[in-house]
Structure 1
Amino acid sequence: MAAVGTEERITLKLMVLKKENKVIFAEAGKDFVDVLFSFLTLPLGTIARVVRKESKLQPSEVASLSSLYQSVENLDKECFPTDTCKEMLLCPRNSMEAYCRSSKINIDDTEPTEYFVCNDLVRCRIKPPVLISTFRNKRCRCGSMLAKPISTETFDSFDGFVQTNSSFMVTDGMKVFPNSFDKIINVLKDSGIENMSSISERTVNITKNQVVELLKHCFCSRSVLTDLFLEKAEKAGRDYRETLLKRRRITPCDLKANNCDGIIVKIVLRKSSGKILFAEGKADFADFLFTFLTIPLGALCLMGGCSYDDSVDGLYKSVVDLDEDYFTTKEVKNKFVDPVLAPQFKLHNLLSLKNGDVPNYFCYSEWDYHGKMVKDFCLTSKRKVELYPCYYESCVASEFLDPLSDTSNNGKAYVKGPTPYMVTDDLVVTPSSSLSVVSLLRTMNIPRHDLQEKVVSIGKEEGVRILQASLSSRSALTLGLSHLTKVKEEN
């Protein structure tokens, strides 16, 4: 642990091709690989927030994803059924947060998850199971508030993602391999290197801010380490938008329907360019887009949203291909291969991600011999405890309260209807009105005869395509729905 007032740093050795001033690969240990793998666990909303807050590389945003996050911040509280709904989107939970917090550098600044039970726990136990929530002051079935914090001490130990004594190679494109002679030879061969004298070694110390820059480069570069560490960051910043424009393509998704109706949306295009100006839909359309913020980056790769050959995809494939013996536990790798949402989140049924397991808490009380309560306990089922003396014959199991389906939000959604919502091409979401539509068209200075209206149905494929485009383009709707609108490619 770092001393008070000092900043954690990770040392990394770079193998550099001297003439081209290009990183061939980095030799890394557990600390750095844990940081890289943690990127895949971060919800997209967290990535948008962290990049904006910490990044010094301009522009400090992630294409349309940042606009979507900003939309939630800007929406009036009246658009949300409860304050909790907005909080869930702005501070989405990471289903693997315990692993990330044990890493040497953790860029996720989301507050640790807390669990709350009824303030009047004894009375509430008369009708078990006891309700448990990760949000304070939700209403219990007995009428009291869920505001009593639970001790979640489980005696589980977390030590990042990979084994302590592991050694790895990380390529310029963020592919991670175990350190071995055959891998080294293959990398050198792929780089066209015959003479070892053309290679030099450099040592760099990585700070938290550089980790954020590293994450950001993963979305816009196939030479991440070179751009970040070899004095090319300034050029990378200037070329950021140009790079995104060149990569504005969507790989066809082979996705089967999820046995549910699509979302009907009205889109308005510009005839002369085929570019979508905005889309208008009911609250379910806005709600579907906002669920993007809760999806972990690795899950997007699993769905095909990172299927283009970029650094994020290379990182995900490295985790999938890495032998499970290199991970701290077999469970850790399984969570990467089949990512899940944090248990308190729901995802629109167009997408097929699962929720993580709800912590299985059991509540009991210790009483003294005079019948007076000494202490309340709430412990996970993983720890065996001696329940005597105990008021009840057995522990009382808990029931997880879904924050989107409590009595104050019968619609089980993040935003309220029946107000329609307008979504611009770069995923700025606002309540729609005749005034807002006219104002947008006036700002764009587009003549009426150049407008075309079309009604489309958005299913799983369209959703993933929009999500994929949101990470690399300011024209997420145009690119994501190009197969429905025959949009012309921009040069």
Structure 2
Amino acid sequence: MSNNGEPTVAVKLFIDKEKKRVLYAESGSEFVDVLFSFLTLPLGRIVHLLGKRSQVGCLDELYKSVESLSEDHFQTKACKAMLLSPCNAAAAHCSQLKVKVDDSNRMYRCKDASCGCAIFSSVPDATCACGHPVQYIKQWTKKELSDPPMVEKSEGGAFAISVPKFIITDDLYVAPSCTSIMFSLIEKFGIPQKGNIEEKVLQLNSNKITSLLERAMLTKQPLTGLCFDVAIAPSVTDLCNLPENLFGAQFVADPKFRAINVRLVQLKEDSVLYAEVGQDFVDLAFGLLTIPLGTMMKSFNQLPQVGCIDNIYKSVDGSAKQECQTMLLSPKLPPYFGCSNNILQVEESVPRQLRIGQTSFYEWNPRYSTDRDYIKAGPMKFMVTNDLHIHPFCLTSTLEFLRASKIPTGKLVQKELTLNQTQALKFLWATFGTRKALSSLLLPSKK
């Protein structure tokens, strides 16, 4: 517990004083639970937590595009809220963490006190079945779920197995403390002189945990950075030339996928300026904000990572409870968050039921329809920049953009492209892993 009464989790760092780096850390299950919970967070929730300064690929610009886009372009008002504050399907488990950075276990009910509908929503700006808007009521607890996840039937934390201590490397690989781990550390660092090692216990509150999440997304030494308050260098993932055979034999095509048409405007020297796209492309891009971080690790595990979230992902096998491993390795979408173009093939959770007092409340579809898109279908076109800032296409703004680019129109060319499912998957990775998603996807790979 911190001085102001805020909950904290403890982690003991073993520091090489001479080199000013963390050799490894030691903790109980409470800290490991927090690390594993990172895998359940939707990407849009991470951007929100990091104040739209996550520096993760094009996600910040994508998030800001949702913010600035008029509600008139969305299927419902709630669709915009679903993208700006996406829910966590593992909210019941995360509600048990000693230190929380996510509050997806929120209950919204009808503002009309006389409404007799026994329903709730997890999304602000939803509309009740009676037609009135909802308002925030409370944070529900795991005990109020009519079919709670089986967490208490085995010992350990919310996610972690029951062992006395875990060892965590500086790049966040987690394992139960044992002889083999000790020898792997000796192989990596040698046996430092006793006087060179300093032990330091950090008490991490929610702000420190959020900082650790940011460092884990962007650096290979997040514990050292947190301990010595090292500034995070600006992301240099400006361009990633994606390999042609990105997914190999493991890729299974979705027969329901609909090809996406794109009009590309680029320099003759092969530099993308912008793309003109329809609702289907925008829905694909915006839908990425609802995808859990663990799903990205699962879908693109063969690609190089900027940070070290992949090490947390690899640690699940061996350090997480058996009944929690699927939740971490193949995270689900929350109820009603599925998309029509579900090319990552993420499963959607079943709607929840809460029992409060003598009344049962059933989770309501915030979209108020069976439509699986966030953006309204229609002839409307959108302009997408290389870093994925998206706004409605109009002549005035496009001319202003061309003037600001200071590129002679004679050097520009147009191309009509149709994205297949493999290219759409590449686009999702480029959005997560690069600052120039369109160039990474649409320009020829450099050898």
Q: TM class by shorter-chain length?
A: 0.7 to 0.9
- Asked if structure 1 preserves the Cα contact closer than 8 Å seen for 2:242 and 2:445, the reply is no
State how far apart, in whole Å, the 2-side matches of 1:311 and 1:113 are: 33
Question: Match of 1:335?
Answer: 327
SS at 1:67 equivalent: helix
SS at 2:407 equivalent: coil
State the AA in 2 paired with 1:241: S
Question: Match of 1:358?
Answer: 351
Moved more, 15-24 or 331-340: 15-24
Alpha-carbon spacing, 1:275–1:306, altered in 2? closer, same or farther (3 Å): farther
State how far apart, in whole Å, the 2-side matches of 1:249 and 1:227 are: 29
Alpha-carbon spacing, 1:40–1:360, altered in 2? closer, same or farther (3 Å): same
State how far apart, in whole Å, the 2-side matches of 1:376 and 1:194 are: 61
Q: Does 1:414 align with 2:374?
A: yes
Question: Match of 1:346?
Answer: 338
Question: Match of 1:384?
Answer: none
State how far apart, in whole Å, the 1-side matches of 2:66 and 2:260 are: 20
1:296 CA drift (Å): 0.6
SS at 2:12 equivalent: strand
- Asked if structure 2 preserves the Cα contact closer than 8 Å seen for 1:118 and 1:131, the reply is no
| Cα deviations by residue, 1:409-436 (Å, 9 ceiling, x for unpaired) | x754211232111111111110112222
> RMSD of aligned C-alpha atoms?
3.2
Q: Does 1:470 align with 2:431?
A: yes
State how far apart, in whole Å, the 1-side matches of 2:445 and 2:413 are: 12
Q: Does 1:302 align with 2:308?
A: no
Q: Does 1:313 align with 2:310?
A: yes
| Cα deviations by residue, 1:198-255 (Å, 9 ceiling, x for unpaired) | 5433332323222112111122211221222134x13xx3x3234x34x845462333
SS at 2:434 equivalent: coil
| Cα deviations by residue, 1:23-65 (Å, 9 ceiling, x for unpaired) | 2211121121111111111110000010017xxxxx5543410
SS at 1:203 equivalent: strand
State how far apart, in whole Å, the 2-side matches of 1:19 and 1:3 are: 29
SS at 2:217 equivalent: coil
State how far apart, in whole Å, the 2-side matches of 1:267 and 1:115 are: 44
Q: Does 1:436 align with 2:397?
A: yes
State how far apart, in whole Å, the 1-side matches of 2:402 and 2:48 are: 29
State the AA in 2 paired with 1:402: N
1:463 CA drift (Å): 3.2
State how far apart, in whole Å, the 2-side matches of 1:467 and 1:37 are: 23
Question: Match of 1:43?
Answer: 42
Question: Match of 1:21?
Answer: 20
State how far apart, in whole Å, the 2-side matches of 1:277 and 1:445 are: 11
Q: Could you list the runs of 5+ residues in structure 2 that have no partner in the other structure? A: none
Alpha-carbon spacing, 1:154–1:346, altered in 2? closer, same or farther (3 Å): closer
Query: Which of the pair has more CA radius of gyration?
Result: 1
Q: Does 1:261 align with 2:254?
A: no
- Asked if structure 2 preserves the Cα contact closer than 8 Å seen for 1:305 and 1:465, the reply is no
Q: Does 1:104 align with 2:98?
A: yes
| Cα deviations by residue, 1:80-99 (Å, 9 ceiling, x for unpaired) | 22211111111101001121
Alpha-carbon spacing, 1:113–1:94, altered in 2? closer, same or farther (3 Å): farther
1:464 CA drift (Å): 3.3
| Cα deviations by residue, 1:236-276 (Å, 9 ceiling, x for unpaired) | x3x3234x34x84546233332122321112222222x222
SS at 1:105 equivalent: coil
State the AA in 2 paired with 1:355: E
- Asked if structure 1 preserves the Cα contact closer than 8 Å seen for 2:2 and 2:205, the reply is no
Identity %: 29
- Asked if structure 1 preserves the Cα contact closer than 8 Å seen for 2:175 and 2:318, the reply is yes
Q: Does 1:76 align with 2:70?
A: yes
Question: Match of 1:392?
Answer: none
SS at 1:202 equivalent: strand
1:331 CA drift (Å): 2.7
State the AA in 1 paired with 2:145: T
Taking the TM superposition and a 5 Å limit, the aligned residue runs for 1:155-304 are 156=148, 160-163=158-161, 165-191=163-189, 193-197=190-194, 198-231=196-229, 233-234=230-231, 237=232, 239-242=233-236, 244-245=237-238, 248=240, 250=242, 252-254=246-248, 255-259=251-255, 260-272=257-269, 274-304=270-300
Moved more, 113-122 or 216-225: 113-122
Q: TM-score, normalised by structure 1?
A: 0.77
Q: Does 1:138 align with 2:127?
A: yes
- Asked if structure 1 preserves the Cα contact closer than 8 Å seen for 2:110 and 2:132, the reply is no
State how far apart, in whole Å, the 2-side matches of 1:176 and 1:18 are: 23
1:139 CA drift (Å): 5.2
Q: How many residues align?
A: 426
1:311 CA drift (Å): 0.2
Q: Could you list the runs of 5+ residues in structure 1 that have no partner in the other structure? A: 54-58, 125-129, 364-374, 380-397
- Asked if structure 2 preserves the Cα contact closer than 8 Å seen for 1:220 and 1:472, the reply is no
Alpha-carbon spacing, 1:312–1:275, altered in 2? closer, same or farther (3 Å): farther
State the AA in 2 paired with 1:414: Y
State how far apart, in whole Å, the 2-side matches of 1:314 and 1:3 are: 29
1:68 CA drift (Å): 0.6
1:287 CA drift (Å): 0.9
